[in-house]
């Protein structure tokens, strides 16, 4: 370790400095990482850290990384190179500046990050965030800490009580993790390697945390898991239950107004879960159900283990149970071997299903996944052109869905103040952001509004009479 990248010892800090330390967390990727960033700031809050939105103001920068994007690790190393320069400048001023790498790249690369980038103080995996304060203390003694090892049974043991975190401003919506990891092994995906096998959180823990959140003012809970509908548990009588039954249990919590869950795999949408969509009005009519491609040949190569026709039939069953449900999806174009006919099958599937929201990407190789070794990689310019065509169609569907709401009355959960005086921003049942002038209402209320206009990223509404 060179002098200019050596961490300051704890004794270099003025007395009481721990109480004023600030952490900046840069979050990449999925909702699970957004949730995990919250977990890390909760763990650090107990140690006197406050979060800052300004990296220049921070004493600790954590990169909560995602391995999904192309050359994800390289992008992390280049971000670390920039942070190394900040660290040098801070060292010259005699100020502490620590650097941590968390998330899926940390889990996948581990020691390699510490080896390649000497400015990094801590590398910490998604299952060990509760040990972050200890890791930082160890790092302050000069140790380079790589903490990514965990026992499966520990996975949910150390989540901080979300209602007891100092300094956390509680929103009226909250994520609640119920499941982590994945056993599906889609051939393009690193999650089974970085997050490990599927593990479900016990029912009692979930219900207890949901009750605490509601007592703390939360009105809407989104159950979170990489493969959330693979969640399984046992009820009080020892009977095996799945996510559908869990939703019925949570729906009994007094004061809870809305439930959601994400992200689902089509193969785990069982009858009970579809019944929950039919029976539970508080289960919002919006479902993220990735399909990735519309060609059976490509779905097989992706190891998705279902056909396009089975996905479409599933969507029909869900829509029959809950006619107002809107779907969102994930799509990958240019998977190895994808022909123009395969791509056209994806376009056809999108046209058949109709999506209110979607996330679409060009295929990119993730080292270590089986997809990386498949023959027939698609030329970049072909991927670019196909993605543009797909996104044009998806955007049109999204706009049509938003416009179809104009003139309709909907329930709106008010979440935060808007930019203008008297304006509040709420969330529609379909997860859209809605601006409304609602002087007589407060955050946490669910009010009836009439949609008046649809912008590219949000809707506008007025309070409906009565």
Per the annotation, does 421 bind a ligand? no
103 binds ligand SF4 (CB under 6 A): no
Could you tell me the smallest distance in angstroms from the CB atom of residue 136 to ligand SF4?
30
Q: How many other β-carbons are positioned within 10 Å of the β-carbon of residue 303?
A: 14
Could you tell me the smallest distance in angstroms from the CB atom of residue 326 to ligand SF4?
21
Residue 292 is classified by DSSP as B
Could you tell me the smallest distance in angstroms from the CB atom of residue 35 to ligand SF4?
15
Residue 137 · residue 112 · CB < 8 Å: no
Q: Who contacts 156 (Cβ-Cβ below 8 Å, separation ≥6)? A: 177, 180, 199, 201, 202, 205
Sign of the dihedral through C-alpha 391, 451, 220, 316 = negative
Could you tell me the smallest distance in angstroms from the CB atom of residue 176 to ligand SF4?
19
Per the annotation, does 461 bind a ligand? no
Could you tell me the smallest distance in angstroms from the CB atom of residue 291 to ligand SF4?
11
Of 23 and 301, the one with the shorter C-beta distance to ligand SF4 is: 301
282: left (phi over 0), alpha (psi -120 to 50) or beta: alpha
Q: How far is CA 134 from CA 44, 49, 112, 120, in A?
A: 10, 13, 21, 16
Q: Number of residues in contact with ligand SF4, rule: CB under 6 A?
A: 10
Per the annotation, does 30 bind a ligand? yes
Element (H, E) at 389: helix 380-404
Per the annotation, does 228 bind a ligand? no
Could you tell me the smallest distance in angstroms from the CB atom of residue 67 to ligand SF4?
11
Of 75 and 184, the one with the shorter C-beta distance to ligand SF4 is: 184
- Of 64, 27, 67, 150, which is closest to residue 369 (Cα–Cα)? 67
Return the residues of window 221-250 that contact ligand SF4 according to CB under 6 A: 226-227
Of 259 and 289, the one with the shorter C-beta distance to ligand SF4 is: 289
Of 118 and 370, the one with the shorter C-beta distance to ligand SF4 is: 370
Q: Which residue has the tokens 């959180």?
A: 201
Of 187 and 432, the one with the shorter C-beta distance to ligand SF4 is: 187
Instruction: Give the tokens for residue 438.
Output: 């609602």
Residue 455 · residue 462 · CB < 8 Å: no
Per the annotation, does 66 bind a ligand? yes
Instruction: Give the tokens for residue 70.
Output: 């192309």
Residue 81 · residue 45 · CB < 8 Å: no
- Of 263, 226, 2, 268, which is closest to residue 107 (Cα–Cα)? 226
Site string for ligand SF4, 124-163 (x = CB under 6 A): ----------------------------------------
List 2's β-bridge partners, or say none.
Answer: none
Could you tell me the smallest distance in angstroms from the CB atom of residue 185 to ligand SF4?
6
Return the residues of window 170-199 that contact ligand SF4 according to CB under 6 A: 182, 184-186, 189, 191-192
Instruction: Give the tokens for residue 266.
Output: 């089509």
Return the residues of window 255-314 that contact ligand SF4 according to CB under 6 A: 265
Binding residues for [4Fe-4S] cluster, by number, are: 30, 66, 104, 182, 186, 189
Question: Residue numbers of the site for ligand SF4 (CB under 6 A)?
Answer: 182, 184-186, 189, 191-192, 226-227, 265
Binding residues, by number, are: 30, 66, 104, 182, 186, 189
């Amino acid at each position: 370790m060179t002098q200019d990248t050596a961490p300051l010892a704890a004794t270099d800090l003025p007395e009481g400095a721990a109480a004023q330390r600030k952490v900046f967390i840069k979050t990449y990727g999925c909702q699970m990482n957004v949730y995990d960033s919250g977990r890390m700031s909760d763990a650090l809050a107990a140690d006197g850290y406050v979060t800052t939105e300004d990296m220049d103001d921070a004493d600790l920068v954590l990169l909560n990384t995602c391995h999904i994007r192309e050359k994800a690790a390289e992008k992390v190393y280049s971000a670390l190179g920039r942070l190394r320069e900040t660290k040098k400048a801070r060292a010259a001023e005699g100020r502490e500046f620590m650097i941590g790498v968390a998330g899926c790249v940390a889990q996948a690369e581990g020691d390699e990050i510490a080896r390649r980038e000497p400015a990094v103080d801590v590398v910490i995996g998604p299952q060990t965030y509760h040990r972050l304060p200890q890791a930082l203390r160890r790092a302050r003694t000069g140790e380079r800490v790589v903490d990514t090892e965990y026992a499966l049974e520990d996975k949910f043991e150390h989540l901080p009580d979300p209602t007891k975190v100092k300094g956390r401003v509680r929103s009226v919506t909250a994520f609640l993790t119920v499941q982590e990891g994945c056993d599906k092994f889609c051939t393009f995906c690193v999650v089974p390697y970085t997050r490990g096998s599927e593990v479900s959180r016990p029912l009692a823990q979930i219900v207890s945390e949901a009750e605490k959140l509601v007592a703390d003012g939360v009105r809407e809970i989104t159950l979170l898991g990489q493969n959330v509908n693979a969640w399984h548990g046992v009820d009080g009588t020892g009977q095996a239950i799945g996510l559908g039954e869990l939703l019925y249990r949570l729906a009994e919590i007094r004061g809870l107004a809305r439930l959601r869950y994400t992200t689902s795999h089509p193969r785990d949408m069982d009858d009970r879960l579809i019944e929950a969509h039919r029976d539970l009005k508080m289960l919002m009519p919006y479902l993220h159900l990735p399909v990735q491609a519309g060609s059976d040949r490509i779905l097989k190569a992706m190891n998705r283990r279902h056909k396009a026709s089975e996905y479409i039939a599933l969507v029909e069953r869900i829509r029959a149970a809950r006619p107002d449900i809107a779907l969102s999806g994930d799509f990958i174009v240019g998977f190895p071997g994808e022909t123009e006919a395969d791509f056209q099958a994806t376009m056809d599937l999108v046209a058949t299903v109709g999506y209110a929201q979607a996330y679409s990407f060009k295929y990119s190789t993730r080292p270590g996944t089986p997809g990386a070794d498949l023959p027939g990689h698609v030329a970049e310019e072909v991927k670019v052109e196909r993605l543009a065509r797909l996104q044009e169609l998806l955007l049109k569907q999204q706009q049509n869905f938003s416009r179809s709401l104009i003139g309709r009355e909907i329930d709106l959960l008010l979440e935060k103040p808007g930019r203008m005086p008297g304006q509040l921003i709420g969330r529609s049942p379909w997860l859209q952001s809605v601006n409304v002038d609602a002087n007589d209402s407060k955050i946490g209320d669910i009010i009836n509004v009439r949609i008046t206009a649809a912008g590219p990223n949000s809707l506008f509404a007025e309070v409906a009479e009565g």
